[in-house]
Amino acid sequence: MALATMRSVVLDCPEPRKLADFYRELVGGEIAYADEDWVKLHVGGGWALSFQRADDYAPPTWPTGARPQQFHLDVTVDDIEASEPGVLALGATRHEVQPGIDDGDTFRVYLDPAGHPFCLCWD
């Protein structure tokens, strides 16, 4: 038996509402709470993504560098070629490093507007 159930993943960022809006457009859901320092996005299945203001936030320098990635989000899309233009229009950027591209892996790495890495995955 588990000791706990998953409730929320919290991302530090300089602008919580801006990043919450990005992820709301990417994965859906509803803003359940928002103030200057904290925004909670209910994404379904009892999960939430929350965004916490960090005035001294600096994005990870993945895959190497002084500020390593500590985690990333994977989201599933039906068609990567159809989905990529939409995610770029939301404010994401495609990362220059694509570790699985030559291995036939089914993911691409992007950076959200605050610089957090995330992957679009497909089957």
| Residue 80 CB neighbours (<10 A) | 14
Whether residue 62 sits in one domain with residue 88: yes
47 and 66 in a single domain? The answer is no
The CA distance from 78 to 4, in Å, is 32
**pLDDT value of position 3:** 72
Question: Are residue 63 and residue 120 in the same domain, yes or no?
Answer: yes
Same domain? 64 vs 122 = yes
Whether residue 112 is found in the same domain as residue 73: yes
pTM: 0.90
Do 69 and 94 share a domain, yes or no? Answer: yes
Q: Residues 78, 40: one domain? A: no
One domain, residues 72 and 85: yes
Q: Which domain holds residue 77?
A: 58-123
Is residue 110 within 8 Å of 97, Cβ to Cβ?
Answer: no
Q: Report the amino acid identity of residue 54.
A: A
Domain CATH for 97: 3.10.180.10
User: Are both 13 and 33 inside the same structural domain?
Assistant: yes
Do residues 26 and 82 share a domain?
A: no
Residuewise pLDDT in 10s, the chain (123 residues): 887 788 899 999 999 999 999 999 999 999 999 999 999 999 988 899 999 999 999 999 999 999 988 889 999 999 999 999 999 999 999 999 998 666 678 899 999 999 999 999 998
Q: Are residues 81 and 123 in the same domain?
A: yes
